[in-house]
Amino acid sequence: MVVPSALVLVCETCGEVPHRVLSGRISGRDDVVFQGTVKCSSCGRVTSVTHRERRPLAVPIVVSERQESSRGTIEFAPEEVITVGDRLDHEGHHIEITAIEVDERRVVSAPAAEARTVWAKRIDRVVVKFSVNKGNRTAAHEFEAAPDEEFEIGDIVDLGRERAVIHKMHVGTTTMKRGRARAEDIVRMYGRLVRERTSR
């Protein structure tokens, strides 16, 4: 393992915890042992330390994005508790834990050491479904948005070659005909095509 640039330690002089690593080495198999010299980022006290912590576990993870899934691993401290709904960073993306498997059954929460597999979904982009009325037919559209991007009744949405105005949104079990909602909360939007006028 690479020697860290900083460690969280209690300073005997000022009680502050961030320490910059000046030099040192990592050893150990079951535990990660750091031996070296650190400097308190608050008072500047320099001291030699031996710091031991449990080696992180690589837990199998399945990450879903729309209709596709990818398998990999994610690291947790052995005693760390994983809970459905947790939001984490993984391989450059924001994800949300959706399920945890322990002993072939799914649980809401479990220590990382007991987790057999965790499932998650990417949440840095969400797919918004939009049904657009085009006279005698309704067309289904989809587009991506940031989870916290807000849409309001009356907004005009660019759908590529066409634009549509939102006239209602289905959010959870509620149909909204006024107001605004975040993209991650929207089940489906409904609107009508905007007729572009051209001048001669």
Chosen domain end from 89, 122, 155: 122
Structure confidence at residue 183 as a pLDDT band (50, 70, 90): very high
- Residue 111: what pLDDT? 93
Domain count, the chain: 3
Say whether both 138 and 111 belong to one domain: no
Q: Is residue 198 part of a domain?
A: no
- Report yes or no on 1 lying in a domain: no
118 and 130 both lie in a single domain: no
Among 35, 54, 73, the domain boundary falls at 54
List the one residue out of 103, 112, 121, 122 whose CA is nearest residue 59.
112
Residue 30 lies in a domain: yes
- Rounded CA-CA distance 160/8 in Å is 50
pLDDT at 100: 96
Both structure tokens of 173: 């079990």
**What is the chain's length?**
200
* Any domain includes 74: yes
Q: Copy the structure tokens of residue 122.
A: 């990417």
| 5 SS3 class | coil
In 3D space, the residue among 194, 126, 122 whose CA is nearest the CA of residue 160 turns out to be 194
Q: DSSP code of 196?
A: P
Pair 189, 130 in one domain: yes
Give 166's contacts (C-beta < 8 A, 6+ positions apart): 130, 151, 152, 153, 154, 155, 156, 157, 189, 190, 191
**Domain for residue 18, yes or no?**
yes
Residue 163 in any domain: the answer is: yes
> pLDDT tens across 78-135, in order?
888 999 999 898 888 889 999 999 998 999 999 998 999 999 998 888 889 999 998 8
Q: The domain containing residue 26 runs over which residues? A: 6-54
Instruction: Note the pLDDT tens digit of each residue in 2-51.
Output: 788 888 888 888 887 889 999 999 887 778 889 999 999 889 999 999 98
- Specify whether the CB–CB gap between 157 and 191 falls below 8 A: yes
Cβ(14)–Cβ(40) below 8 Å? yes
Which CATH number belongs to the domain containing residue 33 in this structure? 2.20.25
Which of 34, 54, 74 is at the close of a domain? 54
Residue 199 lies in a domain: no
